[in-house]
A and B are shown apart, each in its own frame.
Chain A
Amino acid sequence: MAETTESTKSLRSPIARARGLGSAKEGVAHWWAQRMTALALIPLGIWFVASVVCLAGADHAAITQWLSAPFTLGALALTLFAAFYHAALGLQVVIEDYIHGKVAKHALIILIQFAAFAFAVSGIIALLMTAFAG
């Protein structure tokens, strides 16, 4: 019973060592954010795909006109934010499940989170440039 000896040697109480080490490790925040972004993406995703389908075959002028409308700008910025947030959370779980090296795992998670926010911001800047260019 090596574990028992170890735990009696430590000055930390068993509850202090167990805190934050449950199956979820970081509590319910990740799980909740995944569901909230999913909920937001139901109307946003349907709106975006329906819009793009209706714009099939449209030229640059028609597309930029659509992108410049205030509603499109707002809804698409929200879509980008929610979708990249949702993607970063989802990819994090995939990495946690399949990548077991501690350094590689955390490096990949950090990289994906940075990349997700960088791409979301890039998309939103592109939207603003289209909307205010002409």
Chain B
Amino acid sequence: MAGHPRPLSPHLQVYRPQLTSFTSIMHRLTGIGLAVGLLYLVCWLVAAASGLEAFDRLQSFNGSIVGKLLLLGWTIAFFYHLLNGLRHLAWDAGWGFELPAAYRTGYAVLIGTAVLTILAWVIGYYRMGAF
């Protein structure tokens, strides 16, 4: 280690937030959130298999404020991780690595996430007969 100062990882407190670092961190966070969501999905499937009573209890939780916030969070996380995942796969294929392209696709991911989340919830409420 003598003599050669090695490059350090960006230190979060002094690292100026950028769109590229933000989208990278969010990919991880949404991934962790979706892993928790998968556990909830299994609970939902087990409840559906257990019969009407268990299923209705879970569905009424889904309809509560906390339940709706969780479902909204998972919707955002899903669309974000899907779109940013496509961005990662494009990078793996060697496309879009230039800084302007990385910023364009970064904004596209954020806008796409917002649009798809709103669309999903509008369709969901429409199917429930809200309007």
Interface residues of B (CB under 8 A from A): 28, 31-32, 34-35, 38-39, 41-42, 45-46, 48-49, 51-52, 55-56, 59, 75, 78, 82, 85-86, 88-89, 92, 120, 123-125, 127-129
Tell me whether B78 and A91 are in contact (CB under 8 A): no
Chain B residues with CB below 8 A from A119, complex form = 38-39, 42
Chain B residues with CB below 8 A from A57, complex form = 124, 127-129
Q: Which of A83-134 contact B (CB under 8 A)?
A: 83-84, 87, 90-91, 94, 119-120, 122-123, 126-127, 129-130, 133
Tell me whether A94 and B39 are in contact (CB under 8 A): no
The chain A residue with its CB closest to the CB of B56 is: A60
Main secondary structure of the interface of B (DSSP, over half): helix
Interface residue tally for chain A (C-beta within 8 Å): 33
The chain A residue with its CB closest to the CB of B59 is: A60
Tell me whether A133 and B38 are in contact (CB under 8 A): no
Cβ-neighbour of B124 out of A53, A84, A123 (below 8 A): A53
Shortest A8–chain B CB gap in Å is 19
Tell me whether B127 and A127 are in contact (CB under 8 A): no
User: Mind listing 10 A-B residue pairs with CB under 8 Å?
Assistant: A38-B85, A42-B86, A57-B129, A60-B56, A83-B34, A84-B38, A87-B34, A90-B31, A123-B42, A126-B46
Bound: A122/B88 CA distance, A? 31
Most-contacted residue by chain A among B45, B86, B89, B120 (CB, 10 A): B45
